[in-house]
Amino acid sequence: MGEPVALTTPRLLLTSPVASDVDAICDACQDPLIQRYTTVPSPYTREDAESYVANVADWWSSGAEYAWAIRPRHEPDGLIGMVGLHHVSGSSAELGYWVAASGRGHGYVSEAAHTVLDFAFGPMRLKRIEWHAAVGNIASARVAQKLGFALEGVRRQAFRTNSGEGVDGWIAGLLATDARGPVEWG
């Protein structure tokens, strides 16, 4: 894809994370829920955040990953969380996201992820997006359901925690041709 692309929603700006975001990213990644349910390093250090931000431009340039900082439109230098397309290969990718504790409960991740999916299925011309989460990550599952992901199953010991431990993981998929509205998982 090349250069980072900024995306907007009615309430949010999605932009490439920059050096001034390092402290906010580091602070957010101290949250026990982020450390439990994502693959961020634990303990998470300032150097981890610096490395993450420094790598984003290379990821965009290579087309391997696309990451956006989620920012409120009324505070464009603020940082609510991160959303990205990971493991981009051929016509598919994996959607990932986290939100700082202060941004939870407002629908920001659903709004941001919906816009990233529009970008993935639109200009990127992807055909399939996967969502993976450790079994028990109910908040992330609710977002995936709102976005229309179909639960495809449980992969035993397939989700790697930040400590490298394998735990059972949910997998869900969304095709470019799928209806993108709330779904129930039975």
Q: pLDDT tens for residues 7-27?
A: 999 999 999 999 999 999 999
- The pLDDT assigned to 1 comes to 62
Please, what are the domains in the chain?
A: 7-175 (3.40.630.30)
pLDDT < 70: residue spans in the chain: 1
- The pLDDT assigned to 124 comes to 96
- The pLDDT assigned to 106 comes to 95
Q: What is the pTM of this model?
A: 0.94
- The pLDDT assigned to 164 comes to 77
- The pLDDT assigned to 166 comes to 87
Distance of alpha carbon 141 from alpha carbon 151, whole angstroms: 9
Taking Cα atoms as reference points, which of 94, 88, 75 lies closest to residue 140? 94
Report the relative pairing of strands 92-99 and 166-175 from DSSP bridges. Answer: unpaired
What order of strands is seen across the sheet that includes strand 81-89?
7-8, 12-15, 66-72, 81-89, 92-99, 128-134, 166-175, 150-160
